[in-house]
A and B are shown apart, each in its own frame.
Chain A
Amino acid sequence: MRWLLAQWSINLASAMAYRISFLTQVVFMLLNDIFLLFFWWIILQLVPDIGGWGMADIWLMYGLAAGGFSLVAIFAGNFNRLSTLIAEGQLDYYLALPKNVLLHVLVSNTSFSAVGDLIFGLVMGAMGCRAHGASYLLFLFFMLTAGSLLCAFSVITNSLAFFIGRSEAISQQLTQAMTSFSMYPGTIFQGAARFIVLFLLPAGFMTHIPVETLRHFDRANIWIVLAANLVLWLLAILLFYAGLRRYESGNQVTLRG
């Protein structure tokens, strides 16, 4: 834990070297997120609800999606750069150190613009919970599980680089597709689409089921979301370490500050 805290404080210190840039990115990311709500505001002017989802559900959904994403981007900022590091043979540095390779790679980078997402997520969650009379603690718990799911899924898609070489485009698009699906009401996905958002691009466990649980509490859903996390992380770890056996060094000489 001390090592992780040290790693994050190094990341923070490097971001603080460009304070104005850091603050600009945070503020603009916050504005960027607020603009997203605008679309749903227009939609809900046209119809009273979307398959039972109203504005408060949209707030919760965005709170979970933005909040979950921000946690991963801040604490495991390499989550979507993993395929580049693998394809370019840049894992050597991590392999030479007596630390967990996957964890070390993930936490070695931080996207501080995600602080804007975090603020947005927390505020959206508070507004959604207030409107539904839901527990904010439960919202925070689901924010953690959303981030954890996103990270695990990204490790899976990025590990494809071990097997097919340059997979950045497809890895990042798969992760982006999951994030996109998590930002639309669960009720618009029916039949085969429902299967896709639950079992292929598991956005359903990231936001749809949690929003429904925050609206109408159901203990079973908490276990379902936790089980999805467990299965996805097991797959992620198995795939990453299976791939690591095939890893080839890029023989690059790099310095890390």
Chain B
Amino acid sequence: MNWHKKWRKYSAVTLTAAQSRLAYWQEMGARTFFFATILFTFSGLWGRMIGADSTVAGYSQQQLVWYLTLTEAITLSATSLLQEVEQDVKTGQIGYLLAKPLNYLLYQAAYYTGEMAVAFSLNLLAGGLVAWALVGLPPITPSSLVQTLVLVALGAAVRFCLLAAIALLSFFVEECRPFYWIYSKLIFTMGGLFIPIDLYPQRWLKPCVGC
């Protein structure tokens, strides 16, 4: 099969996933509500921590809130990847899926891309509006926008690999969910979900997280 046909096949999967994601508007509404509560809480937290120079270790409240808006928009764009793969493995459904004329992992990647694209766009829109209302707009340039989008795409790709690896642990253990808990907490701590890694204590943590 040539690359063109393969591309059409997997892009159809991506499109279906995006449409399916848009159908669950209730879930999206609930997620947006949760996002708003997180931004609201952290805006209050940074407000409490701000020093005499109107910054927290050099970062303004506006910068910290917009940082969180972007990181949370990615993190909250959760997809069904983990549940899907885990269920396929646990129920044996994967045996039938492997026989289909699709690469199982590429199929999951295409589906993940569709779900992620819709969820991230909506999260960014909703979170952006809340952040704008809370602390105003940050200075945005075309170059910073392009850099951000490239980084988000690369981050989403790394996330897919990690989630797929965790989900495939179902072949070896009964429940892969506990590994996901640890992964999500590592993102939370080492991944700098809530605060920029630059703010981490210098002496040992920065080398650990690789900056």
* A interface residues, Cβ below 8 angstroms from B: 18, 20-21, 24-25, 27-29, 31-32, 35-36, 38-39, 42-43, 45-47, 50-51, 113, 166, 169-170, 172-174, 176-177, 180-181, 184-185, 187-190, 193
4 cross-chain pairs, A with B, having the tightest CB-CB distances, nearest first? A28-B178, A35-B185, A169-B30, A173-B30
Closest to B200 in A: A42
A28 vs B178: C-alpha distance in the bound complex, in angstroms? 6
Q: B37 near A180 (CB under 8 angstroms)?
A: yes
A50-B45, A170-B26 are known contacts; what are 20 more A-B pairs with Cβ within 8 Å?
Answer: A18-B174, A28-B178, A28-B182, A31-B185, A35-B189, A36-B188, A39-B195, A42-B200, A45-B201, A46-B49, A47-B56, A50-B48, A169-B31, A173-B30, A176-B34, A180-B34, A180-B41, A181-B37, A187-B48, A188-B44
Contact of A177 among B34, B177, B181, B194 (CB under 8 A): B34
Report whether B30 and A170 are in contact in the complex, using a CB–CB cutoff of 8 Å: yes
- Counting residue pairs across A and B whose Cβ atoms lie within 8 Å, the total is 100
- The residues of A that contact B48 with a CB separation of less than 8 Å are 50-51, 185, 187-188
Q: Is the CB of B178 within 8 A of A29?
A: yes
- Whether the pair B51, A47 counts as a contact (CB closer than 8 A) is yes
- Label chain B's interface by main secondary structure: helix
* B27 lies within 8 A of A47 (CB): no
Cβ of B38 under 8 Å from chain A: yes
Whether the pair A21, B34 counts as a contact (CB closer than 8 A) is no
Nearest residue (CB) in A for B37 is A177
Query: In angstroms, how far is the closest chain B Cβ from the Cβ of A217?
Result: 25
Determine the chain A residues whose CB is within 8 A of the CB of B31 once the complex forms. Answer: 169, 173
